C-alpha cells in the first residue's frame, strides 16, 4: 500500500529557490538550500530566517467552558490566560508520558488555537475529539504557517505591522501583511526573537515572496531548524519527548502552571497527574541533560551513554554539530545520579567510547523579546 507524500503550498517556490527536498512527517520538506545548513544556521542567528512549517497541525478548540475542559488534558492554567496570550504545553497519557508538545493560544474567551507536531496531528485531533465531546475541534488544513526567526525579524515585519514592538514573547494578534489577513504570534523554535504567521494557504506564496524581498531574510531548511533548536536546548518530540518520557524527566517541569502543581489552587486534575506530581515532589529516576563532546565529530541520537565503570546509564536523544559554538553538542536521558553538572561520561559511537561531560543548557542564550518594564 503506497503512502501519498504531501506538499505544502510553498513547495514550488522552495524548488525555485534551490531547496533540497526530503520526506518528513508525510510531507516533502526542504532539508536545506544551496548555501547549506551551516550558512543557514548562522544567517538565522545573525539576521532573519524564513521557515515553512505548514506541515504542522493547526487546530481550533472552542465551545462553552473550553478552558476548564482543555485543562483536563494539559497541566496549564488556561482560565487565567488572557485573550492574545499563549503558552507551551503538553498532552500527557495515563502514565505521565508526553503524547505531544504544542503551543496553545487563547484567541477569544472560549476559543483556543493549538499548533501541534506534524507527525502527531492526526492522532492529536482524534484524541481531542474523544476526550472533549462537548467542544468543537476543527483542524485547519486550509492554513499555512510561516516562521520568521532571528534578531532582525521584528525589523522585517515592522513595515507591515507598525505595532510589532507592543507584541511580547508568547503573545499574538491579528495583522495584515501584503493585504492578507494573518495571525502573528511572537514565538519560535530557535531560541531567537521571532514570529509564527498563520495565514490562508492560497496566499502563502505571495506573503513568503514579500518577506524574502528583504535583504536580511533567507530561506532556512529542516537541517538548520534542528541545529538551531538543539543549541537552544529545546526538545524535539519523538526524541527528547516521547510517550515514555514525562515532563519532569525531560526537564520541562516549568511548563506546568503553579496552580496545577502540588499545593496549587487547581492541583493536578490532568491526565497522568499522579505520576508527574510525584516526580515533581520526589524527583525522577532519570533526567534530560546536555552533553559537550570531546573532539569534532557529532554524537547522534541512539548512542548509548555509560559511566566511568562502563555501566549503561542512558542514551543520547538528540545530537549534532552546533555551528554557533563550532562544536558538537548533544542531549541525553540519563540516570539522575549521573545528571550532575560536570559529570564525566562516555558515549559509544561505532563501538568506540567518546568522552562527554554533563553541562548546563541552553548552549546559546535565548533572545526572546520582553516588553520594557
CATH number of the domain that 199 lies in?
3.30.1360.120
How is residue 58 written as a grid cell? 493547526
- CA 298 to CA 177: how far, in whole Å? 40
Residues 30 and 156 in one domain: yes
* 160 within a domain of the structure (yes/no): yes
Residues 49 and 162 in one domain: yes
* 343 within a domain of the structure (yes/no): yes
Q: Helices 222-231 & 37-46, crossing angle to 10 degrees?
A: 50
As averages over each run of 10 residues, the pLDDT of the chain (373 residues) reads 83 98 97 98 98 98 98 98 98 98 98 98 98 98 98 95 94 95 98 98 98 98 98 98 98 98 98 98 98 97 98 98 98 98 97 97 98 83
Structural domain boundaries enclosing 335: 285-364
* 227 within a domain of the structure (yes/no): yes
Residues 32 and 146 in one domain: yes
Residues 225 and 350 in one domain: no
At residue 4, the pLDDT reads 87
Residues 38 and 179 in one domain: yes
* 61 within a domain of the structure (yes/no): no
Question: Looking at 166, 197, 231, which one is the last position of a domain?
Answer: 231
Residues 22 and 150 in one domain: yes
At residue 213, the pLDDT reads 97
Class of residue 44 by CB neighbours under 10 A (exposed 0-12, middle 13-18, buried 19+):
buried
Residues 26 and 153 in one domain: yes
At residue 208, the pLDDT reads 98
CATH number of domain containing 297:
2.40.30.110
Contacts of 186 (CB under 8 A, 6+ apart): 167, 168, 169, 170, 171, 172, 193, 194, 195, 369
Residues 210 and 290 in one domain: no
At residue 161, the pLDDT reads 87
At residue 227, the pLDDT reads 98
Domain count, the chain: 2
* 110 within a domain of the structure (yes/no): no
Residues 153 and 227 in one domain: yes
Residues 44 and 191 in one domain: yes
- 47-87 residue pLDDT tens: 999 999 999 999 999 999 999 999 999 999 999 999 999 99
At residue 1, the pLDDT reads 40
At residue 9, the pLDDT reads 98
Residues 213 and 358 in one domain: no
* 177 within a domain of the structure (yes/no): yes
Residues 197 and 295 in one domain: no
| 312-322 vs 304-306, strand pairing mode | antiparallel
Amino acid at each position: 500500500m503506497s503512502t501519498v507524500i504531501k506538499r505544502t503550498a510553498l513547495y514550488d517556490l522552495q524548488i525555485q529557490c534551490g531547496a533540497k527536498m526530503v520526506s518528513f512527517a508525510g510531507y516533502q520538506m526542504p532539508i536545506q538550500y544551496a548555501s547549506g545548513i551551516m550558512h543557514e544556521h548562522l544567517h538565522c542567528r545573525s539576521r532573519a530566517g524564513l521557515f515553512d512549517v505548514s506541515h504542522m497541525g493547526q487546530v481550533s478548540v472552542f465551545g462553552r467552558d473550553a478552558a476548564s475542559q482543555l485543562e483536563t488534558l494539559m497541566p496549564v492554567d488556561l482560565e487565567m490566560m488572557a485573550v492574545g496570550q499563549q503558552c507551551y504545553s503538553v498532552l500527557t497519557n495515563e502514565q505521565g508520558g508526553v503524547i505531544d508538545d504544542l503551543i496553545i493560544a487563547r484567541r477569544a474567551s472560549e476559543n483556543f488555537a493549538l499548533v501541534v507536531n506534524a507527525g502527531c496531528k492526526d492522532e492529536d485531533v482524534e484524541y481531542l475529539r474523544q476526550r472533549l465531546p462537548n467542544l468543537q475541534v476543527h483542524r485547519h488544513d486550509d492554513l499555512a504557517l510561516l516562521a520568521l526567526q532571528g534578531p532582525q525579524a521584528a525589523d522585517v515585519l515592522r513595515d507591515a505591522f507598525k505595532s510589532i514592538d507592543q507584541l511580547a514573547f508568547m503573545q499574538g494578534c491579528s495583522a495584515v501583511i501584503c493585504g492578507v489577513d494573518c495571525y502573528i504570534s511572537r514565538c519560535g523554535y530557535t531560541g531567537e526573537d521571532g514570529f509564527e504567521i498563520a495565514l490562508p494557504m492560497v496566499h502563502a506564496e505571495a506573503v513568503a515572496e514579500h518577506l524574502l524581498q528583504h535583504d536580511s531574510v533567507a530561506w532556512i531548511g529542516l537541517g538548520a531548524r534542528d541545529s538551531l533548536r538543539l543549541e537552544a536546548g529545546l526538545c524535539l518530540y519523538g526524541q527528547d519527548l516521547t510517550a515514555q518520557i514525562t515532563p519532569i524527566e525531560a526537564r520541562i517541569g516549568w511548563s506546568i502552571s503553579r496552580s496545577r502543581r502540588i499545593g496549587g489552587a487547581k492541583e493536578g486534575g490532568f491526565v497522568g497527574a499522579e505520576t508527574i506530581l510525584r516526580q515533581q515532589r520526589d524527583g525522577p529516576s532519570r533526567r534530560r541533560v546536555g552533553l559537550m563532546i570531546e573532539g569534532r565529530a557529532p554524537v547522534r541520537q541512539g548512542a548509548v551513554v555509560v559511566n566511568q565503570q562502563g555501566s549503561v546509564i542512558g542514551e543520547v536523544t538528540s545530537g549534532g554539530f552546533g555551528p554557533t559554538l563550532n562544536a558538537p553538542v548533544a542531549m541525553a536521558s540519563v540516570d539522575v545520579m549521573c545528571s550532575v553538572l560536570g559529570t564525566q561520561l562516555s558515549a559509544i559511537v561505532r563501538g568506540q567510547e567518546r568522552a562527554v561531560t554533563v553541562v548546563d543548557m541552553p548552549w546559546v542564550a535565548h533572545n526572546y523579546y520582553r516588553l520594557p518594564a
